[in-house]
Amino acid sequence: MRKIALFFLLAMPFTANAQLSNDDVHKYDHFNQSQYRNEIRIPGFDGYQTLKCDFHIHTVFSDGSVWPSVRVQEAWKEGLDAIAITDHIEYRPHKDIVVSDHNESYNIAKKEGDKLGFMVIKGAEITRSKPLGHLNALFISDANALDVDDPLQAIDIAEAQGAYIIWNHPGWPDNKSTFYPVHGDLIKAGKIDAYEAYNYMESYPLTFDWYAEYGIAPMANTDIHGPIDIDYAYGEGWIRPMTLVFATDRTEAALREALDAKRTLAFFHGTLVGDKEYLSKLVGASLETREVGERLEVTNISDITYKMTKGDDLYIFPAGKTVLIKAPKGTLDVENCFWGNGKKLQYRF
Ligand SMILES: [Zn+2]
Ligand SMILES: [Zn+2]
């Protein structure tokens, strides 16, 4: 018995919680998967690091089915750097069972975040029909104050708290990504800062031009309601939708500064959408090159596979792998990087 116990001790020296008990009870705490974090490798550039974020998450405190602290554990485990808890203000189907105010889901999540050293941003979803639709207010101080009849007043209250406002799922629920006058007015007034080019399992290609047209930051968020690995069918290499933020540091202040500066890309199922320059720099930081005679050795140090074409030639640079190719001349179309609707990034090695 003692020999077996010793084996576990030697085999699992990295598990802080592994311990010998006695001959009656052997503990196998290393089977607890919650202590292993996946690392998503996406390099930074220009002195920025790439923060992997999900700014749209529900819990049982609105219409989700997951407890707030579990949201943090899911995101930590999957390798994210930050999440926002954004329960609906107006739609709380469990409110007779889960009795609380609008701040409680964040408070619970934040406590867990602090334990793990993980950023949790306070938010809420202002929930109305179109034309206004749904908006997430992030970095707020009191979600209860947003519980008012007039949604434009709710936005003003959030703004007064220093909110960062996201226009959620512009193409939902009517399958039309209509840009209404109210959105134009809000953007002009500086009251919409970002929008979801991707939400949950939907993409809104008409919105891919909005960064260039309106100067609002593109995002991909999960809007997750159920457990993350039940709502999304994970396969090998699958990475949940996320917003990449290029920040000077892994802190809430640096994250906010980067968001205000609109340094984001939407990352959804292997495709990136956003500013041409950020796309180009991210691809450049991901692909390291070395000339080998007439050929080019390309090492993709990121977890994003890039596909490029030139005429009939297809070049694939798989995540985490090195390929040796005939050095391409001129610019290539990057098939999974868009700076507008149908507008592929042009990339030159
Ligand atoms: Zn919504
Ligand atoms: Zn939502």
Give the tens place of pLDDT for each residue, 60-92. Answer: 999 999 999 999 999 999 999 999 999 999 999
Q: For residue 219, how far is its CA from the centre of ligand 1 (angstroms)?
A: 14
Name the β-bridge partners of 73.
Answer: none
Predicted pLDDT at 32: 84
**Residue 112 is assigned to a structural domain of this protein:** yes
Q: Which of 177, 272, 255 is nearest to 220 (CA)?
A: 272
Q: For residue 66, how far is its CA from the centre of ligand 1 (angstroms)?
A: 17
**Residue 50 is assigned to a structural domain of this protein:** yes
Q: For residue 342, how far is its CA from the centre of ligand 2 (angstroms)?
A: 27
Do 182 and 312 share a structural domain? no
User: Residue 161 sits in a domain of what CATH number?
Assistant: 3.20.20.140
Domain count, the chain: 3
Do 230 and 108 share a structural domain? yes
Residue-averaged pLDDT of the chain = 93
> For 328-338, what is each residue's pLDDT tens digit?
999 999 999 99
Q: Where are the beta strands (DSSP E) in 64-130?
A: 82-85, 119-127
For the purposes of burial, counting CB atoms within 10 Å of the CB of 219, is it exposed (0-12), middle (13-18) or buried (19 or more)? buried
Do 142 and 268 share a structural domain? yes
Cα–Cα distances (Å) from 146 to 62, 132, 163, 189, 258, in that order, read 15, 16, 11, 19, 25
Q: Note the ligand closest to the C-alpha atom of 223.
A: 2
Do 205 and 119 share a structural domain? yes
Predicted pLDDT at 18: 55
* Whether the Cβ atoms of residue 61 and residue 104 lie closer than 8 Å to each other: yes
Q: Which residue bears the tokens 């005429």?
A: 311
Q: For residue 261, how far is its CA from the centre of ligand 1 (angstroms)?
A: 24
The separation between CA 83 and the C-alpha centre of its own chain, rounded to angstroms, equals 7
> For 22-68, what is each residue's pLDDT tens digit?
788 888 888 888 889 999 999 999 999 999 999 999 999 999 999 99
Do 210 and 178 share a structural domain? yes
Do 54 and 122 share a structural domain? yes
**Residue 244 is assigned to a structural domain of this protein:** yes
Q: Note the ligand closest to the C-alpha atom of 167.
A: 1
Do 149 and 17 share a structural domain? no
- Regions of the chain with pLDDT less than 50: 1-14
Predicted pLDDT at 77: 94
Predicted pLDDT at 17: 55
Q: Note the ligand closest to the C-alpha atom of 127.
A: 1
**Residue 279 is assigned to a structural domain of this protein:** no
| Domain extent at residue 97 | 38-274
What the block records as the tokens of 116 is 């793990």
Which residues are placed with Cβ below 5 angstroms of ligand 2, an ion? 125, 223
Which residues are placed with Cβ below 5 angstroms of ligand 1, an ion? 134, 168
Q: For residue 164, how far is its CA from the centre of ligand 1 (angstroms)?
A: 16
Q: Which of 38, 40, 39, 41 is nearest to 299 (CA)?
A: 41
**Residue 168 is assigned to a structural domain of this protein:** yes
Predicted pLDDT at 27: 84
CA–CA distance, 292 with 315 (Å, rounded to integer):
17
Query: What is the enclosing helix (H) or strand (E) of 256?
Result: helix 252-260
Give me the DSSP letters along 285-343: HHEEEEEETTEEEEEE-SS--EEEEETTEEEEE-TT-EEEEEPPPS-EEEEEEEEETTE
Do 332 and 262 share a structural domain? no
**Residue 304 is assigned to a structural domain of this protein:** yes
Give me the DSSP letters along 126-144: EE--TTT-EEEEES-S-GG
Q: Note the ligand closest to the C-alpha atom of 124.
A: 2
Single out the residue in 226, 243, 274 at which a domain terminates.
Answer: 274
Neighbours of 9 (CB within 10 A): 13
Q: Which residue bears the tokens 């930081």?
A: 285
**Residue 280 is assigned to a structural domain of this protein:** no
* Whether the Cβ atoms of residue 169 and residue 223 lie closer than 8 Å to each other: yes
Do 318 and 197 share a structural domain? no
- The residue type found at 140 is I
**Residue 200 is assigned to a structural domain of this protein:** yes
Do 263 and 176 share a structural domain? yes
Do 291 and 258 share a structural domain? no
Do 206 and 138 share a structural domain? yes
Q: For residue 110, how far is its CA from the centre of ligand 1 (angstroms)?
A: 22
> For 124-144, what is each residue's pLDDT tens digit?
999 999 999 999 999 999 999
Single out the residue in 214, 248, 274 at which a domain terminates.
Answer: 274
Q: For residue 223, how far is its CA from the centre of ligand 2 (angstroms)?
A: 5
